[in-house]
Chains A and B, each alone.
Chain A
Amino acid sequence: MNTRDRPDFQVIASWVQPGERVLDLGCGDGALLKLLIEARGAKGYGIEIADANVLAAVQSGLNVIQSDLEAGLSGFEDASFDHVVLSQTLQAMRHTEAIVFEMLRVGREAVVSFPNFGYWKHRLDILQGHMPVSERLPYQWYDTPNIHLCTIADFDDFCAQRDIVVKERRVLDEGRLITEEHNFLGSLAVYRITRG
């Protein structure tokens, strides 16, 4: 996973209090987890499937569990973490709904970030007849890992239909916080959600 250019990391870090327990799903090389531990005094584990990332996380001295997220979080107890984080991975998962429910089972709250498909540049690409390719969606249609893209409005509906409470939402573009017209101006959304 590319750890450069992850503007959502600072947002997520601001939501984590010292001593809180974090489970980072698809933790990559552990950059976010390391940040949360070193800068925020959190404790936690990462889950990661790729060998190279597991090795990198161990090299960073992190607790990492090699496991496939698509199989859920069995083995993790209910409400055993303060935050369960899924950073820019939701859109690449097959079992989208299942993983969100698993996050809400294992965590007091779930933190989810994803690229906003409703971002104006993406809309413009579509209007011009092409699949969007952007900073947040850097893939061509034929080699993208992203199979479940959504807009901010879609994710809001998803939560509302499932009695999931949105505690907080931050929307970013080029590292800056977007304060209005989220679904149009924001390229990256970060949510804190809990069970209703």
Chain B
Amino acid sequence: MAGIGIVAAQSAHFDTPLTLRSGAVLPAFDLAFETYGTLNAARSNAILVCHALSGNHHVAGHYKNDPDNLGWWDNIVGPGRPLDTDRFFVVGVNNLGGFHGSTGPVSPNPATGKPWGADFPVVTVDDWVQAQARLADYLHIDSWAAVIGGSLGGMQALQWAINLPQRVRHSLVIAAASKLTAQNIAFNDVARQAIITDPDFHGGHYYEHGVRPLRGLRLARMLGHITYLSDDQMAEKFGRVLKTGAFSFGYDVEFEIESYLRYQGDKFAGVFDANTYLLMTKALDYFDPAHHFSGDLAKAISPATAKFLVVSFTTDWRFAPARSREIVNALLKNKQEVSYAEIECSFGHDSFLMDDPQYHALVRAYLERAVP
């Protein structure tokens, strides 16, 4: 089935100051976004897609002058797809701290006129929800039919339902967790250390030096990538296969998995901003809606009035099914409406981006029933 086709990015400017969770204030900010489909007269068919660590507002379709740059979740958004653009008005947004057009570390700091760099305030999932709500106002969307996201995006879908219950009718929390484990935070910190200790990082002000901490960012991505895949999938895809068929008794690329990871690392470092990467991992680490409720997640979620679909993947060890069950159990404890599916998919944490038939059928069915 054909996708949405040619799309165009838009930008919205907000000049009412935004007070962030850290206490810092952004005097003004921009959000880059894209929309697909048509907002109905009742403004009741809007779905917000929240992105994960490396995503942005380009969710589906491609740009006119860049046909190969397909949106990161194109397989689920489009005419006849589970997020059916013939029925829904789908909105993708680049979060604060991003570098794809939304205000972030590469944007000029109004105080200095130079890029914010490391001085850009640390943002949290709460802050993103607050900023996204401004975008909803801008688009005259009082309440989302659904907010959906995978991984860090799923955390935003959950936070939306908690913070602005009257504005979310359905929350689709996919491959997420209500908080990171110590192991998750540990992975993130190693990634951050790789970036921060890169000599080209310059304390986060590398833009002024005309360099980028490519080595650090590359390592960060290689590490992250390992955690997004499953052991089984890696074994199946790469095994112990050698590029040249024999040991070379050196440190160059020998095993296929090394080649793959280095390629992924290079590709990512070439296009992603290191300061944004740091910010995103920090937002992940801080996310914990139960924090202010003595760890009682049910209490934290109790304001939500949305109905929930929670989805996990059997081979996801970064945010394992048990983490999703914690969210489900909290909702059950509150007698809130929730469906939960544990999808058998071999792609680890990345499964949420895959075109798995059961997974997509489920999202489709849920949205079809939930949103008349």
Interface residues of A (CB under 8 A from B): 21, 45, 51, 54-55, 57-67, 75-77, 80
A64 touches B339 (CB 8 A): yes
Is the CB–CB distance between A66 and B342 below 8 Å?
A: yes
Residues of B within 8 A of A51 (CB): 341, 343-344, 358
Nearest CB of chain B from residue A76's CB, rounded to whole Å: 6
B336's nearest neighbour on chain A, judged by CB, is A63
Cross-chain contact of A45 among B332, B358, B369, B370 (Cβ < 8 A): B332
Q: Which of B332, B341, B362, B370 contacts A75 (CB 8 A)?
A: B332
Contact among B328, B338, B358 with A55 in the assembled complex (CB-CB below 8 Å): B358
The verdict on A65 contacting B340 (CB below 8 Å), with A21-B335, A75-B325, A75-B329 known, is: yes
**Which of B325, B339, B342, B343 is within 8 Å of A58, CB to CB?**
B339
* 7 A-B contacts (beta carbon < 8 Å): A55-B361, A59-B368, A60-B369, A63-B338, A65-B332, A77-B332, A77-B333
**6 nearest CB pairs, A to B:** A75-B329, A61-B369, A59-B365, A65-B340, A58-B365, A66-B341
In the assembled complex, the CB of A143 is this many whole angstroms from the nearest CB of chain B, namely 24
Interface residues of B (CB under 8 A from A): 309, 325, 328-329, 332-333, 335, 337-344, 358, 361-362, 365-366, 368-370
* Interface residues of chain A: helix, strand, loop or mixed (majority): mixed
Q: How many A-B residue pairs have CB under 8 A?
A: 55
Q: Provide the bound-state CA to CA distance between A95 and B370, in Å.
A: 35
Determine the chain A residues whose CB is within 8 A of the CB of B325 once the complex forms. Answer: 75
How close is B93's CB to chain A, nearest CB, in angstroms? 27
Whether B339 contacts A63 by the Cβ 8 Å rule is: yes
Q: CA A76 – CA B335 in complex, angstroms?
A: 10
B309 nearest in chain A by CB position: A58
When C-beta atoms are compared, the residue in chain A nearest to B369 turns out to be A61
Which of A54, A62, A76, A80 is the one whose CB lies under 8 Å from B362? Answer: A54
Q: Is the CB of A54 within 8 A of B341?
A: yes
